[in-house]
Each structure stands twice: as C-alpha cells, then as structure tokens.
Amino acid sequence: MASGEKVDYVFKVVLIGDSAVGKSQILARFARNEFSLDSKATIGVEFQTRTLVIDHKSVKAQIWDTAGQERAVTSAYYRGALGALLVYDITKRQSFDHIPRWLEELRGHADKNIVIMLVGNKSDLEDERAVSTEDAKEFAEKENLFFLETSALQATNVESAFQTVLSEIFKIHS
Ligand code: GDP
Ligand code: MG
C-alpha cells in the first residue's frame, strides 16, 4: 500500500516463545517475505508493520518481536497487544513444554480479549519432530487457542497464522 493512504485500524500483535523457535524468521516472512537460515539474535527493531485489507478496511498490523531478550520481556512489550503468536519449535520438546509458562505470562499482562494463536514452527523438519500435532491440538483446544503448524523456511501457514489472528481481532474491535 502506498504511503499516505488512510489506515482504518492499527492492531498490535506480539511474538512470544523460547529463543530460537523461529519468531524473527516468522516475522521476516510475514513482513518482508524473507527468510535467513543463519539469523543472528534479533537486534534493534522492536516491531515491523504490514498493512492489509480486511473486510474493505485498511488494517495495519504492528508485529512486535522480542529482539533476542526472551528472558527479559517486560510489561511494555505486552501493553496494548490485541493478538499473540505463541511459538514453539516442533523439533524441540522443551520449547513446547514451556508454552504454559508463556501463556500464563501473556494472560497476566495482556488485554482480556487477546486473540492467541499457538504456532508449531519448523514443520519442514518432519524427520526431527518431537511434538506431535495431536498433543499440540489438544492443548490448544483445552486452552481455547487457535493452532497451526508453520514453516517460515517454506512459507507454510505463516500468512494464515497472521490472517486468522488479525481477522479475529477485527471481529472483536471493529
Ligand atoms: P527466534 O530466536 O525465535 O527469533 O528464532 P529465529 O527466527 O532467529 O530462528 C532461529 C533459527 O531457526 C535460525 O537459524 C532460523 O534460520 C531457523 N528457522 C526459523 N524458522 C525455521 C523454519 O521454519 N524451518 C527451519 N528449518 N528453520 C527455521
Ligand atoms: Mg529473534
């Protein structure tokens, strides 16, 4: 979208989850359609934006990344967030086992109506899978979360994950 065009809504969405699960690459894929296999720990930029059209309205998604400070995510990070992608790595069991903690922290800090998508990233690494789709689906249902497996590398479901969260936010806040 050309600059100067009107934006009807700005929705803040945060990325959370353990270090190295692929948060920054998911964001790079969504915001710039880029991917890097040797991504350095994210530095500097706090968020990236992409404007899309939902229901004939222009919606600017402002997506926040943890900037490599997963252990020091502060309440400012969550402030005003209407959506969240809660990311684990399907090849790292521990990153899934930490999801309840991330969820607790998120629910403690964010908007009551926050829309949450559980994201199992690196679905291209099927041979190294350590978390079954069924386990994750079951957890997501129990906790009332949306759920998708993604691959930032192959660009699988990244668009859908954000689209789902943003459309849901739109339904609640428009
Ligand atoms: P973050 O710490 O959660 O931001 O994780 P990064 O986005 O920096 O990614 C950590 C590592 O995993 C990097 O080497 C990425 O290239 C790699 N990575 C991220 N997403 C994928 C994916 O979908 N598939 C594969 N195979 N590797 C990925
Ligand atoms: Mg990162």
Global pTM?
Answer: 0.94
Task: Indicate left, alpha or beta for 67 from its phi (over 0: left) and psi (-120 to 50: alpha).
Answer: left
Kindly report, residue by residue over 97-119, the tens digit of the pLDDT.
Answer: 999 999 999 999 998 899 999 99
Alpha carbons 59 and 164: distance in angstroms, whole number? 13
Alpha carbons 50 and 160: distance in angstroms, whole number? 14
* pLDDT for res 57: 95
Kindly report, residue by residue over 25-78, the tens digit of the pLDDT.
Answer: 999 999 988 888 876 655 555 789 999 999 999 999 999 998 767 777 788 899
Residues with CB under 6 A from ligand 1: 19-25, 36-39, 42, 121-122, 124-125, 151-153
